[in-house]
């Protein structure tokens, strides 16, 4: 299959929306990372997402809608979630909520769970695509399962080109790491994945502090220990790289590449996945491994460190 790259024009959006309506796979830019979209009501289309990514079937998908009315057709939105939705949607927040049984979604989307992960992306191109398609769009990140998430159309093409119908090219992603995922254990909000919306921004709106997922309670089934895997080995929190390592720097600690010379975590998040790809190339070509400078564990640093920890995990 030849993968068509559509420009972010009216004609490009219309073509991409038609493909989604026809049950094809279309990757599209969001503010976090590129998503691999399919009509969430079409089981054959959703099955093709799992096939194209080689994703385990037990790992459920996020459904993307253009507005709150679209979300309310799919999930129950209790008051606490509604307050967060009003504050942070559209934006890099995904909420896991009780799903409406009669929403008509393919069972493959939720992998047997009675909850559904929903998100309204902020990227205007993504919202125009969702509105034009007029169907709820299931979309995981547009990378082969376990590999580095894509933040440009070129990344998507490298990983999935030839396996998907089209890519809607929205340029580079503004946030650069995936959405923050929140679930609810009764009334207790639970952080299922640190992401592009900092918890410091969310917490003032919550009646009680966010809890971390406890074993056996609600979890995100896709949070595998090893993920975002580069080809080269990776070592974290490195202040003194060895001769056999290339350094991915941060702030004053310079390396072959620097995620943010100014020490700005937002800039580091934007650069993270593309620099991981670049430094992996540098390392593998020179027979070296990757070292990463320490990143502060605040703000978007939580999401950055989470991705780096999974990238460095034993496989």
Is there binding between residue 179 and Mg ion (CB under 5 A)?
A: no
Identify which of residues 127 and 253 has a Cβ nearer to ligand TXA in the complex. Answer: 127
- Minimal distance, residue 181 CB to ligand TXA, in Å: 5
Q: Are strands 289-292 and 234-235 parallel, antiparallel or unpaired?
A: parallel
Count CB atoms within 10 A of the CB of residue 147: 21
Phi, psi of 313 (to 5 degrees): -65, 150
Q: Which does 3 bind (CB under 5 to 8 A by kind): Mg ion, ligand TXA, none?
A: none
Q: What is the DSSP letter of 104?
A: -
Is there binding between residue 190 and ligand TXA (CB under 6 A)?
A: no
The residue written with tokens 């997922």 in the block is 213
Q: Give kind and range of the element (H or E) at residue 245.
A: strand 245-249
Identify which of residues 213 and 296 has a Cβ nearer to Mg ion in the complex. Answer: 213
Q: Which stretch binds ligand TXA (CB under 6 A): 14-22, 74-82, 109-117, 293-301?
A: 109-117
Identify which of residues 120 and 283 has a Cβ nearer to ligand TXA in the complex. Answer: 120
Is there binding between residue 113 and ligand TXA (CB under 6 A)?
A: yes
Contact map string, positions 26 to 65, toward ligand TXA, x by CB under 6 A: ----x-xx-x-----------------------xxxx---
Q: Which residue from 157, 178, 245, 306 is in contact with ligand TXA, where contact means CB under 6 A?
A: 178
Is 154 in a helix, a strand, or coil? Answer: helix
Count CB atoms within 10 A of the CB of residue 285: 10
Q: Which regions of 105-187 does DSSP assign to beta strands (E)? A: 115-119, 137-138, 166-168, 180-185
Site size for ligand TXA, by CB under 6 A?
28
Is there binding between residue 122 and ligand TXA (CB under 6 A)?
A: no
Taking CB positions, which residue lies at the least distance from ligand TXA?
222
Altogether, the residues listed in the chain come to a count of: 315
Chain positions 130 to 149 lying near Mg ion, rule: CB under 5 A, are 141
In which order are the strands placed within the sheet that holds 93-98? Answer: 4-6, 166-168, 26-28, 35-39, 137-138, 62-64, 115-119, 93-98, 180-185, 188-193
Q: Which does 271 bind (CB under 5 to 8 A by kind): Mg ion, ligand TXA, none?
A: none
Q: Which residue from 94, 106, 258, 305 is in contact with ligand TXA, where contact means CB under 6 A?
A: 94
- Chain residues binding Mg ion by CB under 5 A are 141
- Chain residues binding ligand TXA by CB under 6 A are 30, 32-33, 35, 59-62, 94, 96, 110, 113, 115-117, 119, 139-141, 178-179, 181, 183, 192, 220-223
């Amino acid at each position: 299959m030849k993968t068509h790259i559509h420009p972010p024009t009216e004609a490009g959006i219309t073509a991409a929306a038609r493909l989604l309506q026809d049950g094809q796979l279309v990757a599209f830019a969001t503010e976090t990372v590129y998503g691999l979209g399919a009509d969430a009501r079409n089981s054959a289309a959703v099955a093709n997402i799992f096939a194209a990514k080689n994703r385990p079937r037990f790992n459920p998908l996020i459904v993307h809608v253009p507005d709150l009315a679209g979300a309310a057709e799919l999930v129950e939105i209790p008051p606490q979630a509604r307050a967060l939705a009003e504050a942070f949607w559209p934006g890099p927040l995904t909420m896991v909520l009780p799903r409406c049984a009669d929403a008509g979604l393919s069972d493959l989307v939720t992998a047997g769970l009675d909850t559904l992960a929903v998100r309204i992306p902020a990227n205007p191109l993504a919202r125009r695509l969702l509105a034009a398609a007029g169907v709820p769009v299931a979309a995981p990140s547009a990378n082969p399962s376990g590999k580095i998430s894509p933040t440009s159309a070129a990344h998507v093409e490298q990983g999935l080109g030839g396996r998907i119908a089209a890519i809607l090219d929205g340029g580079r992603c503004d946030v650069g790491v995936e959405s923050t995922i929140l679930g609810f254990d009764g009334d207790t909000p639970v952080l299922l994945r640190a992401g592009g919306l900092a918890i410091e921004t969310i917490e003032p709106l919550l009646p009680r502090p966010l809890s971390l997922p406890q074993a056996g309670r609600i979890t995100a089934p896709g949070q595998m220990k090893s993920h975002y895997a580069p080809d080269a080995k990776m070592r974290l929190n490195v202040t003194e790289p060895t001769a056999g390592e290339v350094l991915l720097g941060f702030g004053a600690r310079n390396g072959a590449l620097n995620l943010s010379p100014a020490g700005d975590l937002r800039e580091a998040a934007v650069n993270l996945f593309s620099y991981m790809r670049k430094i992996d190339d540098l390392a593998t070509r020179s027979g070296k491994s990757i070292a990463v400078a320490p990143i502060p564990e605040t703000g978007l640093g939580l999401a950055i460190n989470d991705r780096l920890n999974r990238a460095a995990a034993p496989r």
